[in-house]
A and B are shown apart, each in its own frame.
Chain A
């Protein structure tokens, strides 16, 4: 038994951290926040140059094959930097869906391009103001032609390729759509986190290819989400750590009543609780990382556990970081809101807290 990452894995994490500290400071995040660009193409290119998109992808498809444990640590750093890039959509979701369910031809065509960052992928599921489910999808696919509207697609404005969930002849299908083709129109939408590109995409007879088995789309999505949830959770604990660090830094410097505000127990204990939530989530993430990397049958439970506690930790740390900052915390100028926005955006991707609580209990009941 060994409950720690290896030196090699940590080395990649350090390199990623160093790069992001250097090139993806909050000025880069703010450039996207202010609407100057849809995502940071410089950072995206930089990550591509380091080969990070291909971290866990097989060498045969242009990846580095450094394993999912390494990818988890890369995710943690992207989260810490609140990186304004489509990494999660393209790598944890689209590339992973292709790797899991794609035909040989599909994999050969797309994975190398996803691994270099030349192509950006995403997943399009959400259609309305209700948690998406197998029985409420309205988008249809018939004879390969997809029609319907996907309300909120993360990175939908910049993606070249979408994994779309649609109702087919035999149930829900998972299909692949090239977004540059005809029958696809999209427009950017404003969200609680403008540091992430988000779009509404309308399909009107867009051509598609089946990904995986006809009718198995929703179960495939569940399996995909179990894997992606672990990587999202690592991004979330990275962000939570950054928010906590920011709170501690401010509490040490800001004075009130003649003393540093961090010496007041009301704040000190609040930050201790942030730390506790983060530690629990981090440890659950470690376990889930192992389950992910080893294809353990415990993955559904481990992933849901990591996801639930990572959602809680990031929401708590980003919320209370604002509190520690007082009025400054509510300004556009201070960075507190970057974490607050990202944590709440990421909470709802892949289904929110209640969805993952349910998955956790299902997995727990199945294991008992």
Chain B
């Protein structure tokens, strides 16, 4: 066990650091650093443009999607080198948020299931940010119960015809491509009749409508499909094998978002060290100390758990369901931290104005964005089911749809 760099890792770190120092958009540093959770601050410049610029620059120098093979736009780097890069990239890493789904989920799915020709065509542009991808999984009738989805794909010659609706699709409005899971056979059990595709988001018949979120932003969308045609060559995996393909995506999702979700704990530490309370500093208050210690231990636990997962990954282990704990812990933790950070500042902390509220209204932003962490990519309850069943080996829930063909499953509203 050694938490220090090996000489080789130190060399890699120095190289990354030097390249970043010479190439990063330094004029955005302070703005990026004051970004709040869910609110990227690019100092008035167009966030999409600056994000794409930085991504392109990284790709040209071999610093994009580090763990992908070089022929697909990556660097062929090890998981540890990838961690080192992320540490060194620091605040500039915030410019990657619009690519997380494409790089973390769509790319690995393409690597696993697309043809060689397709990989050559799509992956380098995905890596360089030139083309943005989204994940079209959830539907009004298929969220937690993803396999309950209804969007139909029907074969017509060499093409498939898609009709239906997706919802909660993050970044669809800025995306060029998407991976799409559909139902190709409603007469078999729900997990068995699914098929995965990727498609051009500008295909005729695709209609994207942004949804306004609790925090006022519109990161996610409804996406309607009206006789959208997809070539059979863009099918990922066999017909009827979509569920298995989706597991590749979801497994990578855990790694992509697992270790990196903020908790708000460093911000809270900063706050209680500077905030006055009862004639002293808030960090001297016993109640503050007790809560902060508990939360710090949890956030450190997440960090150290992520480190262990990286070590396992370097040894060739596949990220397993135990990585579900990252999001499960971080979501609730941030919600608690946000409320406490505001509690300490009194009623004035209801103010949202970033010029007045502490830290550009960072705790307020956490308060309003954190509920989504407990839902997106698997709700807290679904994650507890996964841990209970897949990690601990407890018996499955009783399922009312067990063994039934999809079209005979009872559905509510």
Contact = CB atoms under 8 A, between A and B. Distances in A.
Interface of A: 1-6, 69, 244, 248, 251-252, 259-260, 262-263, 265, 268-269, 271-273, 275-276, 279-281, 283-284, 286-287, 289-290, 293-294, 304-305, 308-309, 312, 354, 356-358, 360-361, 364-365, 368
B74 to A, nearest CB: 21
A283 B297 contact: no
B283 A361 contact: yes
A275 B396 contact: no
Nearest to B298: A280
Nearest to A67: B1
A1 B293 CA distance: 27
Contacts of B269: 364, 368
B302 interface: yes
Contact of A361 (B2, B3, B293): B293
Nearest to A6: B1
Given A1-B310, A6-B1, A280-B297, 9 more contacts: A2-B311, A260-B394, A268-B397, A271-B394, A272-B385, A272-B392, A276-B387, A280-B329, A365-B283
A290 B307 CA distance: 13
Contacts of A360: 293, 296-297
A5 B290 CA distance: 31
22 contacts: A1-B83, A2-B2, A3-B308, A3-B311, A4-B315, A6-B1, A248-B392, A259-B398, A263-B394, A263-B398, A269-B381, A276-B325, A279-B305, A280-B298, A286-B304, A289-B1, A290-B2, A290-B3, A308-B293, A354-B290, A360-B297, A361-B292
Contacts of A3: 1, 3, 304, 307-308, 310-311
Interface in B65-120: 80, 83
For B270, B298, B322, B381, the residue with the greatest tally of chain A CB atoms inside 10 Å of its CB is B298
Interface of B: 1-6, 9, 80, 83, 269-270, 273, 283, 289-290, 292-294, 296-298, 300-305, 307-308, 310-312, 315, 322, 325, 328-329, 381, 383-385, 387-389, 391-398
A234 to B, nearest CB: 13
Nearest to A251: B394
Given A276-B387, A357-B289, A308 B394 contact: no
B394 A1 contact: no
Nearest to B302: A280
A368 B281 CA distance: 15
Report whether over half of chain B's contact residues are helix, strand or loop; otherwise say mixed. Answer: helix
A4 B1 contact: yes
Contact of A1 (B4, B283, B300, B397): B4
A309 B2 contact: no
A248 B4 CA distance: 37
A69 B392 CA distance: 27
B289 A358 contact: yes
B302 to A, nearest CB: 7
Contacts of B387: 272, 275-276
Given A1-B9, A265-B385, A252 B395 contact: yes
Contacts of A268: 384-385, 388-389, 394, 397
Given A248-B394, A280-B302, A284-B300, A262 B388 contact: yes
B289 to A, nearest CB: 5
B394 A276 contact: no
Contacts of B381: 265, 269
B294 to A, nearest CB: 7
B171 to A, nearest CB: 30
B273 A275 contact: no
A248 B393 contact: yes
Contact of B397 (A265, A279, A365): A265
Given A251-B394, A290-B3, A361-B292, A283 B307 contact: yes
B2 A252 contact: no
Contacts of B5: 1
A1 B325 contact: no
Contact of B308 (A283, A312, A356, A358): A283
A283 B301 contact: yes
Contacts of B4: 1
Contacts of B292: 361, 364
For A2, A3, A294, A354, the residue with the greatest tally of chain B CB atoms inside 10 Å of its CB is A3
